[in-house]
Structure 1
């Protein structure tokens, strides 16, 4: 990494490997699981450089190292080593958890920047692969958009049902508290529907008295959940 080394836990420590000199500590305020260094000349480096210019503080950006962190919060953060600041952070996590208990699995375990400016790949605790694309945003300079979700671990499948008039989506109940909705064409997990604190045992579709399509789920937590289906699933 051009003579520098980054070490992480709840902080990122930067070392100069040419002189074996400790440079700085950057606090991240969460337990980190993965770190990616953004290569100069890439689209992502260009966006992060523009964020630096917007800050109004002039510094020698040639010595800056941009890097991405992921950890227990399930939030992607992008940092500038020279200023020791977070230039971008997701406003919400795409990782679904069943509860806020301390022993509930959550967050990312690894991340890698995809080649040829194809975006970012993050791996969750429950073996899901989340693919992010970099898109221009009106309110922000840019943002990460979840473009695909691949589920690598399902355990026992307890129930399935097709969604939509043309049955383009398949809702699957496994030994999880969430329902996974797959796009039948790409078999990507397009949606993860939450609402229970125990595993979902059964699911079906119905239409409310007002004519609104619903996904009905029954769970081991002794509750039923009626989830309105958005326009994408109809």
Structure 2
């Protein structure tokens, strides 16, 4: 049996094809989903990809969070379906209230593009259980509005309940509070992060590692984790 993972395309999506390729490299079937539809086509999990959905008007992800497909995704996520939001997808998850907090303009006021070291803080989610807690991974990052914010009470809850999924290491590229790079919900099926694991899935095209240039494939673990979790649930 092959897991089927949907990737939503919004107007302005840039990394939907990259996410589809990552899914195929991990061993699942990638299913293209359209923002204007109400049909999830029976997928086992969903990826909200990076880009500039609806031109990032109002706030990044604010319009996309109201797209027809998101009504189905919110309901499915609340019922336990794994959902991964990458960069703009993370912003959409926050705007859809599937994850808390907010994402604002980078602290330095500039777009940032770099290979980013992350520490895995929660290795129990549908998308991260292939890691060990404390693992250091390298994933490309590219964003202009990736600064994570939340009020003091929310931050205390996120830290106290283990809902921080990833944290920036060495460099905080966008001024995120508590160096937060990604979150999970309480159930562990919804994960959002600003860096791009789909860009670290194929030798020759990933981040540099001590072994070789462009050899980093840490992102594959995200997709292999959810494949294993969804197949185990069948």
Q: How high is the TM-score relative to the length of structure 2? A: 0.26
**Higher strand proportion (structure 1 or 2):** 1
Based on CA coordinates, which of the two structures has the bigger radius of gyration?
1
